[in-house]
Chains A and B, each alone.
Chain A
């Protein structure tokens, strides 16, 4: 593996109290891709979403494929005000996800996310998202659709450099 190509920590937090959102700000543009890892629980079944650079307009879309233990299904959502990280819900049981945001610092193309959400009581899920903006991503807000992520939930951002 080439030097510089491995996971480099950008920022991490362990929630000291239940929170409905958390923002990674002032993200350096010096990496090629970034990876977000969330591991935790919620007080109720919620969805986690992303917004980039404080954009709350309808510039986000998703396609996902999931298995909920009895059915496999796929669907998509367009013109969202935030990009989903999961579509079947963080919950009181331990859940996790790993999501990659490709070529996040370029100023030419729209930005794509691909990731995996895992909960043994909710679903195994593969999800992709699109942010229709050519701006370099310099902040990432993780937010919930309702209720909160629980105390002790960890959120970590890693940088992956191609060279």
Chain B
């Protein structure tokens, strides 16, 4: 049988940094998408939030998560950014050097005509006073096929630093 997990595209951020990581012209020939992200931002903090939007749209995003930083776990519903979904953690500029936040996102039926749900597993660990874990349920309430995925930093105000990577895979059910 054919293997169906296929690399569609990958991005490695260069020395100049990048304000976004953009996967465009995503083909609709797969059933699901799997996006693996390892990123760090220039935000002047130990931590930054990873943002995501689809097809360039700035509306119709909702999210619910479960998170913990080594203390009491908590849960929130999206309120931070109206124009994108908060979809995990990444290391910020004051995190331990060479640490990156890692996030895996699974998109079932991304090219279908239903609203688009996404499963998110995200961590940022830096061998210091805190580490962070985020389990997320994202929703884009649009029936359009996803043909573009854009990753952003904290509402679009910061940049990804060098060596940040993102790999987009396609998975077929036949």
Q: Are A69 and B75 in contact (CB under 8 A)?
A: yes
CA distance A121 to B5 in the complex (A): 29
Count chain A residues whose beta carbon lies closer than 8 angstroms to a beta carbon of B. Answer: 44
Q: Which residues of A contact B68 (CB under 8 A)?
A: 72
Asked if B171 is at the interface (CB within 8 A of a chain A CB), the reply is yes
CB-defined contacts of A66 to chain B, threshold 8 Å: 66, 75
User: Quick check: B3 and A96 within 8 Å, CB to CB?
Assistant: no
Assess A96 versus B171: contact at CB under 8 Å? Given A7-B3, A39-B108, A124-B65. Answer: no
Q: Which residues of A contact B116 (CB under 8 A)?
A: 94
Chain B contact residue count (CB 8 A cutoff): 42
Q: How far is the CB of A19 from chain B (nearest CB, A)?
A: 17
Whether a CB of chain B sits under 8 angstroms from the CB of A75 is: no
B59 within 8 A of partner (CB): no
Interface residue from B64, B65, B108, B172 paired with A9 (Cβ < 8 Å):
B172
Write the nearest CB–CB distance from B156 to chain A, whole angstroms. 21
Find chain A residues with CB under 8 A from B63 CB: 120
Which residue of the partner chain, among A8, A41, A97, A119, contacts B64 with CB atoms under 8 Å? A119
> Once the chains bind, are A120 and B62 in contact (CB under 8 Å)?
yes
Can you list 15 A-B contacts (CB < 8 A)? A6-B5, A8-B1, A12-B173, A37-B32, A39-B109, A67-B76, A69-B77, A94-B115, A118-B119, A120-B78, A123-B64, A123-B75, A124-B66, A124-B137, A154-B108
Listed in ascending order, the chain A residues whose CB lies under 8 Å from chain B are: 1, 3-9, 12, 37-41, 65-72, 93-98, 116-126, 152, 154, 156, 158-159
The 8 A-B residue pairs whose C-beta atoms are closest, nearest first, are A67-B75, A67-B66, A118-B137, A72-B73, A6-B5, A120-B139, A39-B108, A6-B3
